[in-house]
Each structure stands twice: as C-alpha cells, then as structure tokens.
Structure 1
Amino acid sequence: MSSHHIVRDDQEPALIIANGLACNTELLGQLLEWSPLVIVLDAAIERVLELGIKVDVLLGDFDRNFDTEYYKNNHYPIEIIHTPDQNKTDLEKAFDFLIQKGHKAANVVWATGKRADHTLNNFSTLASYRNQLKIVLYDDHSKVFLLPNSYKKWYPKNSIISLIPLGKVENICTENLFYKLQNETLELGFRTGSSNHVCEDGIITITHEKGNLLLIESFD
C-alpha cells in the first residue's frame, strides 16, 4: 500500500479511516493518492500501520491503556489528538478537528460493516455536519453522502440509486429514476427510496424542500 504523497492540495478531501470493515486496497489507494491529510481513529491504528500507510493524525479518547507515546516516538511526525469527550463518537471528533483546521471536505472509509450500531450512527452523523463539511462514506459496495436540496449528476443506465431519509424528508421530486417521486415524502421506518435505478444514460435530478436525504450509490 502506497503512502499519500502524490498530491497534497488542501482543497482535496482529507481521509478519515475509522475502525469498521476494511475496504479493498485498490479503493483505499485511490483515496490516499488525493488526500492532503490522513486521520486514523485510535482503535484502527495497528490495522492501518500494517498496510504501510503514512498517518498524519492519530485521534481518539485513547482508553484501555492506549500507549500514545509509542506512536509518537515510533511514527514521527504523527500528530496525536486526545479527544476525551464521551458525548461524541471519535468520527464526530475527527469531523470537528477538520472543521477547526479549515478543511471543507472529508472522505471516510472503514465506517461501515462490523457493528450495525456504529454503521447506523455514522450515517446519521452526516446530517449534523451538512453545513460545515462535505462528507462521503465509501466501502467496497457503496458510496454514501448527504444530498443538497437540488442535485444533478450524470449516471449510466441501471445505476443503483437509493434515497434514504434521516427522519422525514418532504417534497421530493426526481427525474430519470425508474421509480419517480413527485412532491412526495420519505420517512425512515415508514417509507424509503431503496434500490431505485437510473432509467437511461444521462442526468438524474433529485430535489427536496425539507429534511436530510442520503444518496447511496451501490455497486453489486
């Protein structure tokens, strides 16, 4: 696994590596190549270092007798950020750190799989940062991000697109999706837009007036 050294432009998304299910090395390598900063949450650090990845920031609450001095001495110039606040997850703390440093975007890997409660919480966390940070979650099968109120993008025919509301989302309209929505409401636990797909090669349009709507691009 190569280190992130080809491009170091602060306008590119930082990369956060959480501690869920690992993604494939090809995806991880592509994200590393364009990341100006790599943040690793404390529980994942050994898994990451085993891949030969250069880590810029190690962040977490460092519980369970975590030896920060070892990483400081053996992986210089790694920056150690202690975040003991138990009212936020380590992923939220990583987002806060990036905002404080002036970053505008973040890609996140290893944030899904393994524990279902962590996966669901990581998805819902995106709503809290919608006005501060552009966040995309990646794994081997999906790309997940929060939609702006108006979204347009070109997709090939039959691309799998799911619209998952975080709570209630109102007045949703879509174009060029097989299951068309016209001023409709989706609500988690009652009705979602899972497993829709693109009708024809071209632009899809998704608008909504109120609420937080996730788009999940799936790769079967």
Structure 2
Amino acid sequence: MSSHHFVKEQQEPALLILGTEGISYDQIAPLLEWVPTVIVVQEEVYRVISWGIKIDLILADLNFQKSNIRLLEEQYPVKFLGVRDGQFLEEAFQYLIATKHTAVNIVGFDHKNVFALEEKLSFLDITVIDGAMRYFPVKSGKIKKWFPETSVHIHAPEGTLISFGTQEGNSILQVVYATMVDVPEGLATLEGKGVFWVGEILDKK
C-alpha cells in the first residue's frame, strides 16, 4: 500500500486540479505535504501522473472512462467520478461536500471567476491557485494577517471600498480591475463589506 493511501480524515484541504497551464510541480508540491485527497479533471490526468502524484479520483466523462479503463489498475486505488455535460467543477464540489471535506485547494481556476464559487463558501474553505497567484476569500469582511514585503491583489466587484491598514497608516481603496497593493512586512488589516478575495504571489522555487 502506498503511503499516500493511509486512511484520510478529510481534515486537510483536498487538492482539485482543473488545469496545469502555467503551473509547475514545485507550486503544487507544498499542497501535498499532508497527503490530501487528490482529484484531477480528465484532461490533466497524464500530466499529473507524470509529476509522480498519486490521484484518488478522476473527474471523467463516459468516453474517457471507456478509453482509459486501464488507469483503474495502473493507478490503483484511483477511481472515476462520472461527469456529464462538462460539469467537472460542480461534480467535484458535490463529492467534497458529501464526503465531509472542509477545505479545498483548486489549481488551474481563473481568478476572475472566483465570485461564482462564493455560494460554496458556507460548505468549504476554498483557495484558488491561478498561475503565480494564490487567492483566498475574506468571508467575514475583515482579515488581519502577517505578510512578507510583497504586493497583493484585491479582487472584489468593481467599485468596492476596502479599508487597508498597516503600521505605516490606513487608507481606503476603491477596487478596480487588477487592484494591486504594496504591503510592507508585518501585520496588515483588510476590511470591506461582503466577501472579497486576496491574491498573494506564490513563493518562487
């Protein structure tokens, strides 16, 4: 039995890979440290296998399942999760919620579409990795977090007002497309009405 497949308690964030364009193995490797449930969309299966990652569940339509049945033996104990009409993301969410996962890291999801994920935030903590950026939602309307010296992307509906405070002072930001904010090292506070998303630059390997 692979060490990857000891009994999982669903406590660690699952890893859902929808796309790998602009993504390297080094970006994903830290997400594997605690042996998450790994779910991969059919188009990315062979790329992920080439990285040496053990997959638990393949989101696949009937044609893919029929054409790649050997994967069930070659990558045992991988399973197929049937998908119709291209509803890969929705099927993945239904599975994660039904199996009582509490969090998921989604790789290869366009950050511009994160607002469509917000109806799932009452069930799952969601983090999105899009290229060199990692996005997380501020569900309570306020976050206080330590940052290294960096730039962050504030992603919210256009015109949203966000209060931004650091040891250097406070300011009010009005969100427009690609609102980037320089953050000094230390604690920063971000506050706004409703859910908004914060994008951090992933560590370069």
Could you state the TM-score of these two structures normalised by the residue count of structure 1? 0.76
After TM superposition, the structure 1 stretch with the greater mean CA deviation from structure 2, 60-69 or 13-22, is 60-69
Question: Which residue does the alignment assign to 1:50?
Answer: 50
- Structure 1 gaps, min length 5: 113-118
Q: Percent identity?
A: 27
Per-residue CA deviations over 1:129-185 (Å, capped at 9, x if unaligned) read: 22221111225521112222111111123x1111011x3574521212989543x65
Q: Distance in 1 between matches of 2:169 and 2:16?
A: 34
Contact 2:111 2:135 in 1 (8 A): no
- The number of residues matched between the two structures is 201
Following the alignment from structure 1 to structure 2, what is the Cα–Cα distance between the partners of residues 161 and 27? 18
User: Do the aligned partners of residues 62 and 153 (structure 1) sit closer, same or farther apart at CA in structure 2, a change above 3 Å counting?
Assistant: farther
Superposition deviation, residue 26 in structure 1 = 2.5
Structure-2 change in CA distance of 1:64 and 1:205 (3 Å): same
Query: Which sections of structure 2, spanning at least 5 residues, go unmatched?
Result: none
TM-score, length-normalised on structure 2? 0.81
Matched with 1:116 is none
The answer to whether 1:161 aligns with 2:152 is yes
Give the RMSD, CA atoms, in angstroms: 3.0
Q: Secondary structure at the match of 1:10?
A: coil
Q: Is residue 119 of structure 2 the alignment partner of residue 128 of structure 1? A: yes
Whether the aligned pair in 2 keeps the contact of 1:3 and 1:54 (CA below 8 Å) is no
1:21 alignment counterpart: 21
Matched, 1:214 2:200: no
Partner of 1:92: 90
Q: 1:121 to 1:44 in 2, by over 3 A?
A: farther
1:34 corresponds to: 34
Query: Are residue 203 (structure 1) and residue 187 (structure 2) matched?
Result: yes
Shift of residue 193, structure 1, vs aligned partner: 5.8
Residues 151/120 of structure 1: CA separation in 2 closer, same or farther (3 Å cut): closer
The 3 A distance-change label for structure 1 pair 181 and 61 is: farther
Query: In the alignment, is the contact (CA less than 8 A) between 2:154 and 2:198 conserved in 1?
Result: yes
